[in-house]
Chains A and B, each alone.
Chain A
Amino acid sequence: MSEKVTSLAEAVRHFIHDGAYISFGGFTVNRQPMAVAYEIIRQRIRGLHVYMHSGGQALDPLIGAGCVRAVEIAYGANGRFAPTCVRFRKAVERGELLVEDYTNYQMTLRFLAGAMGVPFLPVRSGMGTDIVNRWGFDTQMRRRDPQLPNRKLVVLDNPFADGEPEPVVLVPAINPDVTVIHVQWADTQGTVRIAGLTFADVEQARAARHVIVTCEELVEPEVLRAEPDRNQLPFFIVDAVVHVPYGAHPTACYGFYDYDAQHLNAYRALAADDERFAAYLDEYVYGVNDHAEYLEKIDTEALERIRAVPPFGYAPGLARG
């Protein structure tokens, strides 16, 4: 077994520290690295600076548990399961969380720029809007923090064109200390295979100094090497591989399980109340030692109901109301 294969607790302890600049893969209710998010909460890590495009279920309990100081995001919602993520909304309205808003494409390009090793990339979205005009972090905060670019977004005329000015928006690169993704398959060396949509996981992982991968199935390298066309990440950028079945629960993992609609709806209701939210964390996060114990708290019938059915990759007929 390679030295990269480790436990959830060890991976988080080793790579995620107080004040870390961290990005989470997945999208709203799909392949959110929930097991890592819960472990961060359990280890009571504080002061995180989080980068996401559509930050959904993983971000919300982290904010609610007080682990997050600032976020740079495009979206904080979970579709039908939370029109706006509940603890995110509360924290912003209470002035407890610093937020800087971008668009989904801008965030994707910021990760891509970081992955490419260039300081910025151009995009044609947001000119004339408050996404460009309103900053979430002021000049002082930017000056104090060497991780932050000294400006939010810059509008520049295309230097290659003559004649009429052709404005584009420059988005600054992001290079997180660590990116966390949850995937279907990883091998013991760290090669990664994602089924279904990859979202921006590949760009997020490539941009980071360190990468933690949790996976549904941990396999030997020859399994993934038999079909390299289906793999997304080279093993040498991955620092830790953790085998965590149902590691995205209650969000979905295409081909393995659907989202747990009942749990997500219950979460939204509990998260709306400070005391009930604290009780939720006590029950599902602080009250257990690891993700296996968390799963013991989830009704086995619920896990059976969300099991993905081939060839659909989700659970047809699942009650989702």
Chain B
Amino acid sequence: METYTARELMAIVAAREIHDGEIVFCGTGLPLLAAMAAERIHAPGAIIFFETGAVDPDLREIPLTVADPRVMYGASLNAGLAAAFAIMQNRFLGPKVVGILGAAQVDRYGNLNSTCIGDYSRPVVRFPGSGGACDVGSFVGRTIVFIRHEKRRFVERLDYLTTPGYLDGPGGRERAGYKHGGPACVISDMALLRFDEASKEMYLDRYYPGTAPEEVQAHTGFPLDISRAAPLDPPTAQELRILREEVDPQRLILR
């Protein structure tokens, strides 16, 4: 029986969601670990690119921000923001991109808040804001969302809607003017959640070792369909070895 931390597990669950040959839009932190792990485990053809404009760099060390000079070395192209976002907004390329995003709050339709808690004009807590998240959530074929599983984060109503998920439910994205996209899954430290084809509502797909569906529901601020839930396949020794030894040997993100 392997032992592992919640962060290691989350990175591996996300890595499994990345398909070979996909273009991966990456933030830093866990999303980047997931993309780098996927590339080394099962998706050698995955292409990592950053909103700052770096395409497919030679990541010898973990970048700590998307503007880290480490994203510039050995890249196929060092461009800028205008070119990077145009790739995602482009009708031919955008659908091939998977974006990985983090957030402070998520609602049942996968809409995200990374701006503030409390009233926008005088927030109780201020977060960094969209950065490129709203653009990515608007443009790309599908997104993967990382978030800690707490009732105050999985909320009935967001304090601020920064990044569009399925907005108000079925047909919401289309009515607002989005051509495709939306969140494929939410990865928390308790579970892997997906969205129902018809209702666009979040449901529990896999719960992690050591948790139970009822416990996941108890940490979620809205009713969750747990009827389809099954236990997650735990990380394999190979997945853990690659993550620890090849992706983040300095434990800058895994800590």
Partner of B139, one of A125, A165, A255: A125
Q: Which residues of the partner chain B approach A175 to less than 8 Å between Cβ atoms?
A: none
User: What B residues does A291 contact at CB under 8 A?
Assistant: none
Q: CB of B222 within 8 A of chain A?
A: no
Is residue A267 contacting chain B, with contact meaning CB distance below 8 A?
Answer: no
Partner of B131, one of A77, A134, A167: A77
Over the window 154-179 of chain B, the binary record of Cβ atoms lying under 8 Å from chain A Cβ atoms (1 yes, 0 no) is 00000011111001000010001111
B65 adjacent to A125 (CB under 8 Å)? no
A320 CB within 8 Å of chain B: yes
With A80-B252, A92-B126, A127-B164 known as contacts, the answer to whether A75 contacts B69 (CB < 8 A) is no
DSSP class of B's interface residues: helix, strand, loop or mixed?
A: loop
CA A304 to CA B108, docked complex, whole Å: 50
| Whole-angstrom CA separation of A255 from B73 in the bound complex | 10
Considering only CB atoms and an 8 Å cut-off, how many residues of chain B contact the other chain? 60
Instruction: Indicate if the CB atoms of B67 and A200 lie closer than 8 Å.
Output: no
Question: B115 near A: Cβ within 8 Å?
Answer: yes
CB-defined contacts of A284 to chain B, threshold 8 Å: none
A161 to B: closest C-beta gap in Å = 11
In the complex, are the beta carbons of B81 and A167 less than 8 A apart? no
Whether B176 lies near A127 (C-beta < 8 A) is yes
B53 touching A126, Cβ below 8 Å:
no
B78 beta carbon closer than 8 Å to chain A = yes
Determine whether B152 belongs to the interface, using a CB cutoff of 8 Å to chain A: no
Q: How far is the CB of B207 from chain A (nearest CB, A)?
A: 27
In-complex Cβ contact of B67 among A136, A168, A197 (8 A): A197
- Please tell me which one of the listed residues B72, B81, B122, B176 contacts residue A104 in the complex, with CB atoms under 8 A apart: B81
| Residues of chain A contacted by B29 (CB below 8 angstroms) | 79-80
**Residues on the A chain within 8 Å of B60, using CB:** 312, 316
Counting from the closest, the 6 A-B pairs by CB-CB distance are: A79-B65, A167-B177, A77-B128, A75-B131, A27-B67, A128-B176
Q: Could you give 29 example pairs across A and B, Cβ below 8 Å?
A: A56-B65, A74-B131, A76-B128, A79-B64, A80-B29, A80-B64, A81-B65, A92-B126, A93-B123, A104-B135, A105-B82, A112-B82, A123-B89, A125-B89, A127-B164, A128-B176, A129-B162, A130-B161, A134-B120, A155-B177, A197-B53, A199-B67, A201-B80, A203-B80, A259-B68, A308-B69, A312-B60, A316-B61, A321-B252
Additional 18 contacts, C-beta under 8 A, given A73-B129, A105-B89, A127-B178: A26-B67, A75-B130, A76-B126, A79-B66, A93-B124, A95-B122, A101-B162, A104-B130, A105-B81, A124-B138, A126-B134, A126-B135, A196-B72, A197-B72, A199-B67, A203-B82, A261-B64, A313-B69
